[in-house]
Structure 1
Amino acid sequence: MKKIAFAICCCLLLIQSFAQIKTITLSKEKLNDKIRGGWAGQTIGVTFGGPYEFRFDGTFIGDYQSLLWYDGYLKNTMLNNPGLYDDLYMDLTFVDVFEKYGLDAPLDSFANAFAHAGYALWHANQAGRYNILHGMKAPMCGQWKNNPHADCIDYQIEADFAGLMSPGMPNTASAISDKIGHIMNYGDGWYGGVFVGAMYSMAFTSNDINYVVSEALKTIPKQSEFYQCINDVIGWHKKYPAEWKQTWLEVQKKWANDIGCPDGVFAPFNIDAKVNAAYVVMGLLYGEKDFTKTLEIATRCGQDADCNPSTAGGILGAIMGYDKIPAYWKMGLKEAENIPFKYTTMSLENVYTTGLKHALQNIERNGGKINGDNITIAVQSPKPVKMEKSFDGIYPVTKIPVKWSDAKDALNFEFEGTGFVLKGETAAWASTTDFVFSTQLFIDDKLVESPELPANYTTRRHELCWKYDLPKGKHKVQLKIVNPSKEFNFNAGEVIVYSDKPVNGLLANKR
């Protein structure tokens, strides 16, 4: 009797387990419509926001300023301003790797594909690229001690593909992001991509914007600042349901002080992932499934005002589907869909087909079924990814100048704290030279690094040098140029000084 009872119990548990597996069934046509809507929505959004990218830092775009859109704008922009579409051609770099090597493509294939691509990069992407080209493997090339831009928006604007190829499977999207997102980001910067991928994934399961956002947030650890920031936006939306500008002000007051990105520290410029993700969520929540309102709000929030409406437009496009994107926003889209994005061989028409192929492969791999035109997806309950924190225990406290040596072959400065970032540049825009500055970094008279600083813009180092984990105290730094050049410029910027405690601005001003 005990054996029978045990067997019955096991059967009941097994039945209960199967009952907990939620499935949804879409026609192949519907699945394809949503995938196309996601890719088209991105393209529309980035085109719309392009003229305002980082033109409104620390402020929003006023209602009195009309935003540009006209028939033929898409085609004109793709042909004449192809560099605008970095969040698209970066996505397509990774899509192409999956297409060439399959869903189990090794990490190095993704890292090498973008590191050796011909397009210019910035912030976390460029820092990651430089690290890879100088022998550092992923995921260390995105880790914050090796990448001052670890919390920047980069993977957040490139993660669309992970969700679009994982419909209803946010944890599968997170696994893709774990592999690829750590090539260039860490901590909150990585969480931005995980969150975006999850929103795309959940867009296949519900038409409720609030549900899509809140469910996707479950993939982010609650103790992270990224989670707290987005959770605040959800709460402020409930408190101020008709006042997106009030929520913008609340985000500005609580979350707008960047501590990592050297371009955003002590400056109104903010490319931090969580702040720009907040603007994406504001566009989605306050947009209320209206495509125009969604793009307008995400753009008018400012900062990365092309990438944010691109993300919001892509997620809403996946929720609505391609066919339901208003005709006003698809003006000229057909003419643009067969134009390959620069630096790639892929157009929107190509990625519509490839995206559906990868989604179907992923669905079958993760317990779903394809029965003719009926696609059954085993929907996943979102689970939080691992906890990471960039710039843990360090705080920017001041900026100081540097001094050139009399011979113009060395940069010198002294500071008191636990770390520094020396800003500067050795590459002019579009420079393709092979010349590389050889340097030596001395801290307290000890050689700690010998950075190679290319004069080539595509392979440049985003900052000259940095060090975060020094013992607290006074330090002396010298960056010596071993091979000075009269032909190529070596421009030194300011030094951001870090310490183990934040400075109270009011008290600092009184001293």
Structure 2
Amino acid sequence: MPKRNIIWILLAFFFMPHMTAAVHKGKKEVVLSEPTLRDKVKGAWAGQTLGCSYGGPTEFKFLGTIIQDYIPIPWDKHMVKKWYDTFPGLYDDVYVDLTFVEVFERCGLDAPVDSFAAAFRRAEYPLWHANQVARYNLLQGMKAPQSGYWKNNPHAHCIDFQIEADFAGIMSPGMPNQAAEICDRVGHIMSYGEGWYGGVYVAAMYSLAYVSNDVEYIVKEALKVIPEESDFHKCMSDVIRWHRKYPNDWKRTWFELQNKWSEEISCPEGIHNSFNIGTKINGAYILLGLLYGQGDFTKTIDISTRAGQDSDCNPASAAGILGTMIGYSNIPEYWKEALHEVEDIPFSNTDISLNKAYDMTYRHACDMLRKHGNVKAGNDFIIRRENIRPVALEVAFENLKVSDKLTIEKSIDDVNPFSFEGTGLVVKGYVAGGLPADYTAEMEVYIDGKFYETTALPQELNHRKCELFFCYDRPAGQHTVTFKWKNPVPNGKIWITEIIIYTTK
């Protein structure tokens, strides 16, 4: 037997065949047996599904406030099946992930951006915010990554990619740089800047959860993948710092976050109100659960939920990361029993169930380990530690501030021409009048008397445009906007509900 193989086998014996200690104390390799790898893959998907289910009853019902301890959050062994039956759209955290998992299954590990974008464009499951705008952009002929770029997507900083980047980390055991590369291909379909960073960070935490049993190490080490200059990095660093300062009081850290990081300037739904679907604040709530949960599955899932806002997605990410670290076999039966009656049921508008996801992602993880030079000795993978590289700096909505938010509630004919002072605006509204689902209104927009664009406004819910119009790139000053309906129909109206005006700082 070659000397090199003997050395690897001895290493495998030394490090144990199952989960090893954390890699952060000078270790260059970690050994992961095939059964342990499979158990961790299952723990990742199971944790994500359980977290999403637990937070379902409270999603966006507690805005800018904590869900206090005396408020019960219902749970029993039939809760997951109930959501499958009554509101399958709750699992957008999972079914969007699985769209991209299926592309890897079909096209291989080197699948190009266009393959992911085409699969996402064809999907007919419910979507919201950055995901829905990206799907609209793709359906209108725009290519990725322009579909997620902030000037084409007002929701580019929303949570969307953060909640669906799990797959990139689950298939990249101990390889956060490779997880980030996958995020680059997929995440820019719908996100940019902070919205993309949230997904990259979550994927890196999943990746490191395979090779470390230390939550604090996972949270801090994974943050190296995010540029330090970014606000996202600064916000996550604050959570880590406040956790050290208030180690037994997650609510104090929550209040510090609310005071410093709760302002929303991008997502039109969150302007001048308590609703916040931004990646920073919700990503911080993932860390609240992980750090203050101290490796306890129940505490982790409960704290991330009780932080509020997107209170199904945040515990889904936290529980998925922790589920990867401890493995499916160590998730308490109190939680796990709720999965037994759904593990063979496909998620909404997919043919992939949890059991199928376990198998597919396990194969992808094995393929990724082999592709990137991680040696296998018998039934054990010897995973080499990576020096984490930060991804590129991306800045969106730079130097913009909201100068006004106007409630209109008028048809476009009643507001023409509309005047504003600033550098851009977002116009919210809808097409009304009992129109058929296959009808698409076409609206021309003129700025300062010059044609700017024709925008399509489909009636089909899954093809809709979330806002009537937006632009951010006008020179500072006074402007007029005129709207013209090109293909009007009897009894139809294009209603404007709100106008958000931006100026430079």
CA distance in 1, matches of 2:409, 2:283: 38
CA distance in 2, matches of 1:129, 1:485: 26
1:498 aligned partner, one-letter code: Y
Which deviates further from its counterpart, 23-32 or 71-80? 71-80
Gaps of 5+ in 1: 1-19, 502-511
Share of identical aligned residues, percent?
51
CA distance in 1, matches of 2:136, 2:491: 23
- Find the counterpart in structure 2 of residue 5 from structure 1: none
Q: 1:360 to 1:284 in 2, by over 3 A?
A: same
- Find the counterpart in structure 2 of residue 255 from structure 1: 261
Offset at residue 334 of structure 1 (A): 1.5
CA distance in 2, matches of 1:282, 1:220: 18
Q: 2:503 aligns with which of 499, 504, 510?
A: 499
Q: How does 1:255-404 map to 2 (within 5 A)?
A: 255-402=261-408, 404=410
CA distance in 1, matches of 2:260, 2:494: 37
> Would you say 1:36 and 2:42 are equivalent positions?
yes
Q: 1:74 to 1:383 in 2, by over 3 A?
A: same
Offset at residue 489 of structure 1 (A): 5.4
Offset at residue 380 of structure 1 (A): 1.3
CA distance in 1, matches of 2:300, 2:491: 49
> Would you say 1:464 and 2:468 are equivalent positions?
yes
> Would you say 1:452 and 2:439 are equivalent positions?
no
1:148 aligned partner, one-letter code: P
CA contact (8 A) 1:425 1:491 kept: yes
Which deviates further from its counterpart, 224-233 or 485-494? 485-494
CA contact (8 A) 2:440 2:459 kept: yes
Q: 1:99 aligns with which of 84, 99, 105?
A: 105
CA distance in 1, matches of 2:363, 2:50: 23
CA contact (8 A) 2:156 2:192 kept: yes
CA distance in 1, matches of 2:409, 2:363: 57
CA distance in 2, matches of 1:33, 1:406: 57
> Would you say 1:217 and 2:209 are equivalent positions?
no
> Would you say 1:414 and 2:419 are equivalent positions?
yes
User: Cα deviation per residue 1:414-433 (whole Å; 9 max; x = unaligned)?
Assistant: 1111110001123899x981
Offset at residue 488 of structure 1 (A): 5.3
Q: 1:406 to 1:434 in 2, by over 3 A?
A: closer
Q: How does 1:33-182 map to 2 (within 5 A)?
A: 33-182=39-188
The root-mean-square deviation of aligned C-alpha atoms, in Å, is 1.8
CA contact (8 A) 1:402 1:493 kept: yes
User: Cα deviation per residue 1:479-498 (whole Å; 9 max; x = unaligned)?
Assistant: 21112234655332111100
- Find the counterpart in structure 2 of residue 3 from structure 1: none
CA distance in 1, matches of 2:433, 2:272: 25
Which deviates further from its counterpart, 186-195 or 67-76? 67-76
CA contact (8 A) 1:209 1:289 kept: yes
Task: Compute the TM-score of the two structures, normalised by the length of structure 2.
Answer: 0.92
Task: Compute the TM-score of the two structures, normalised by the length of structure 1.
Answer: 0.91
Which deviates further from its counterpart, 256-265 or 476-485? 476-485
CA distance in 2, matches of 1:312, 1:350: 22
CA contact (8 A) 2:411 2:493 kept: no
User: Cα deviation per residue 1:9-49 (whole Å; 9 max; x = unaligned)?
Assistant: xxxxxxxxxxx992221110000001100000000000000
User: Cα deviation per residue 1:145-188 (whole Å; 9 max; x = unaligned)?
Assistant: 11100100000000000000000000000000011000000000
CA contact (8 A) 2:55 2:305 kept: yes
CA contact (8 A) 1:428 1:457 kept: no
> Would you say 1:423 and 2:428 are equivalent positions?
yes
CA distance in 2, matches of 1:276, 1:412: 38
Offset at residue 80 of structure 1 (A): 2.4
Offset at residue 363 of structure 1 (A): 0.4
User: Cα deviation per residue 1:428-451 (whole Å; 9 max; x = unaligned)?
Assistant: 99x981100011001111111010
Q: 1:433 aligns with which of 422, 434, 437?
A: 437
Counterpart of 2:269 in 1: which secondary structure?
coil
CA distance in 2, matches of 1:32, 1:405: 56
Gaps of 5+ in 2: 1-25
CA distance in 2, matches of 1:405, 1:255: 36
CA distance in 1, matches of 2:34, 2:87: 34
- Find the counterpart in structure 1 of residue 447 from structure 2: 443
Counterpart of 1:439 in 2: which secondary structure?
strand
User: Cα deviation per residue 1:47-87 (whole Å; 9 max; x = unaligned)?
Assistant: 00001110011111111101111122122222222111011
Offset at residue 373 of structure 1 (A): 1.4
CA contact (8 A) 2:148 2:156 kept: yes
Q: 1:48 to 1:357 in 2, by over 3 A?
A: same
Tell me how many residue pairs correspond in the alignment: 480
CA contact (8 A) 1:403 1:412 kept: no
CA distance in 1, matches of 2:151, 2:135: 15
Counterpart of 1:98 in 2: which secondary structure?
helix
User: Cα deviation per residue 1:235-293 (whole Å; 9 max; x = unaligned)?
Assistant: 00111111111111111111100110001111100000011000000000001111111
Which deviates further from its counterpart, 152-161 or 474-483? 474-483
Counterpart of 2:340 in 1: which secondary structure?
helix
CA distance in 1, matches of 2:504, 2:70: 44
